[in-house]
Amino acid sequence: MVACVLLVRWADTVTTPTTVLLEVAQRFSPRVAWVESHALAIDLHGLERLFGEPRAIGEQLRRALAQAGLETHVAVAATRTAARLLAHARAGLTVIAPGTEIETLAALPMALLPCLLGDGTPTGAADVPIRASARFYRTSPMQELVKEIVKPRRRRGHTPVSDLLAVFRRWGLRTLGDLAALPAPDLAARLGAQGPRLQALARGEDPAPLVPLVEDERFEATLALEWPIEGLEPLSFVLSRLCEPLCQHLERRGRAAAILHVELKLVTRMIWARRLELPAPMKDARTFRTLVLLDLESNPPPAAIDAVTLRVDPTPARTLQHSLLERARPQPEQVSTLVARLSALMGARRVGRPVLVDSDRPDAFTMESFTGEGGSSRQGDLHNHDGTKPRRHEGDHKHLAPALRRYRPPVPARVSVVDGRPVQVRAARAGVAGGAIEMMAGPWRCSGEWWALDTAWDHDEWDVALSGGTICRLSRDRLKDRWYVAGVYD
């Protein structure tokens, strides 16, 4: 591989030099990667037939960047490491032949090594007026003091490069050639793994292969219709034609959809957009079509459709590991379809799972989307701290407290009151017990959120035993002066 490294400096009129540098570099080669904050590596292998020899490619790169307002130091070598060292040390264009990296780098000062490791600008290097390096590395005395105060802890067995350079100076090493000539086993015995690593950099060897930048891939499908369509039945055929190739594209890339975007272009030139957040990453075409149709059934477009666009936000595909100790759960695609059908039938806010709210309001909860994930199939079983089930003893049921089964919403009732205490209950719903009150306990008053008129509450509650043997809870809304049967005890 022949690598080219561009180290950039820019004029004040250029506001985004890194963007310009990347755009110009990608005109020559698709294999580019950032190696520093303002340095870019380009793979020139195979470009000779298009642009000529490496020196000609470097000259064309410099001219293209100069026209964009950027002045660069360009170095072409067989390895990225050698090209980076030469770009920091020499201005203009530098081209070396493959196999001459060690001889060419031998005369360069050892102070260039921190540039490759991100420890700062080379001290004592050649006077190269690169504005990017000055802006990126120079700090004020106050910043140096702050860095010294909040200096991170050193990892065990890791020595800063500045300390290693001080050791090399005490050994009498001044250039990269001096370091490259040392025996590697003896260097590793004295400095550990960092010694051979720095020696490999001094010889111009790459520590890892080039990983080129990859543009974000769009997963989108659009179909323009010859005639406008109305209704969900003809739309389902159009969605089938879009979902199949879209899911195949996701399958080939090993991705799945996290969010599904639907855009319908109407005959009124209006865009009817819907956004479906999927409970789990999925890539099933039939599920996509069903979810879109159910959503549009609840939110139909106001006019006929001219074009349909499906777009997904990709995410890594799920890897499922089934357990032999737990009951199998339904697939997320089946759960999503079921929840969508229930939402279309009952309303979106009436389907989900209840979640407690941090409030003193009785039975305060909210609804969240149900995904079917999380929670064990034995979630309702009681276990000790060590994971074993508690032993049941005879007579334990005698000490169990009665459970209150609440009515949601509470059942309106007519209550006769004598001296401020209820004496007779008549419920407004069939099947709810009523009658004379024989025993009672209460009232217990609870109130809150008095500052919000729409959510404030002020209740008095009684536990009463009716003549028929039923024990229930009565609630009086003091703000509305209404009585309710809040629940019944089992």
Tokens of 230: 């109305």
pLDDT value at residue 263:
92
User: Looking at the structure, do residues 224 and 303 belong to the same domain, yes or no?
Assistant: yes
Which amino acid is present at 310? L
With beta carbons less than 8 A apart as the criterion, state whether 422 and 437 touch: yes
Q: 44: Cβ–Cβ under 8 A, 6 or more apart, which residues?
A: 2, 3, 4, 28, 29, 54, 57, 76
Q: What is the mean pLDDT of residues 277-300?
A: 85
Residue 418 has pLDDT above 70, yes or no: yes
pLDDT value at residue 309:
92
pLDDT value at residue 375:
45
Whether 72 maps to a domain, the answer reads yes
Residue 258 CA: distances (Å) to CA of 82, 109, 277, 282, 457: 43, 52, 7, 7, 40
User: Looking at the structure, do residues 427 and 285 belong to the same domain, yes or no?
Assistant: no
**What is the count of structural domains for the chain?**
3
User: Looking at the structure, do residues 431 and 367 belong to the same domain, yes or no?
Assistant: no
**Range of 451's domain?**
402-489
Whether 391 maps to a domain, the answer reads no
Question: For the chain, how many helices (H) and strands (E)?
Answer: 15, 17
Whether 344 maps to a domain, the answer reads yes
- Picking from 107, 133, 129, the residue whose alpha carbon sits closest to that of residue 121 is 133
User: Looking at the structure, do residues 69 and 178 belong to the same domain, yes or no?
Assistant: yes
pLDDT-based confidence at 400, cuts 50/70/90?
low
Say which residue, 374 or 17, is predicted with more confidence.
17
User: Looking at the structure, do residues 446 and 419 belong to the same domain, yes or no?
Assistant: yes
User: Looking at the structure, do residues 311 and 248 belong to the same domain, yes or no?
Assistant: yes
Whether 170 maps to a domain, the answer reads yes
Whether 416 maps to a domain, the answer reads yes
Whether 389 maps to a domain, the answer reads no
pTM: 0.47
| CB neighbours of residue 299 within 10 Å | 11
Residue 224 has pLDDT above 50, yes or no: yes
How do strand 457-466 and strand 435-448 relate by DSSP bridges?
A: antiparallel
Phi, psi of 3 (to 5 degrees): -110, 145
User: Looking at the structure, do residues 67 and 105 belong to the same domain, yes or no?
Assistant: yes
User: Which CATH number is 367's domain given?
Assistant: 3.30.1490.100
Of 227-231, 237-241, 346-350, give the lowest mean pLDDT range: 346-350
Ramachandran area for residue 27 (φ above 0: left; ψ -120 to 50: alpha; else beta): alpha
Whether 143 maps to a domain, the answer reads yes
User: Looking at the structure, do residues 40 and 168 belong to the same domain, yes or no?
Assistant: yes
User: Looking at the structure, do residues 367 and 275 belong to the same domain, yes or no?
Assistant: yes
Tokens of 155: 């990892």
pLDDT in tens, 28-84: 888 888 888 778 888 888 887 788 888 888 888 888 888 887 888 888 888 888 888
Give the CA radius of gyration of the chain: 37
Which amino acid is present at 480? K
Q: Give the integer Cα–Cα distance in Å for 290 and 301.
A: 17
User: Looking at the structure, do residues 113 and 246 belong to the same domain, yes or no?
Assistant: no
How do strand 70-77 and strand 93-95 relate by DSSP bridges?
A: parallel
Mean pLDDT, the chain, whole residue set: 77
User: Looking at the structure, do residues 188 and 55 belong to the same domain, yes or no?
Assistant: yes
Of 203-212, 272-281, 444-453, give the lowest mean pLDDT range: 444-453
With beta carbons less than 8 A apart as the criterion, state whether 167 and 191 touch: yes
Tokens of 271: 């865009």
Tokens of 451: 């500052």
Q: What is the mean pLDDT of residues 88-99?
A: 86
Whether 459 maps to a domain, the answer reads yes
Q: Give the integer Cα–Cα distance in Å for 122 and 175.
A: 13
User: Which CATH number is 141's domain given?
Assistant: 3.30.70.270
User: Looking at the structure, do residues 43 and 153 belong to the same domain, yes or no?
Assistant: yes
Where helices occur in 315-447 by DSSP H, the ranges are 332-346
Say which residue, 279 or 133, is predicted with more confidence.
279
Q: Which DSSP string corresponds to 325-360?
A: SSPPPPPHHHHHHHHHHHHHHH-GGGSSEEEE-SSS
Q: Before 185, cis peptide (omega within 30)?
A: no
Q: Give the integer Cα–Cα distance in Å for 274 and 261.
A: 6
Q: Give the integer Cα–Cα distance in Å for 27 and 23.
A: 7
Say which residue, 473 or 135, is predicted with more confidence.
473
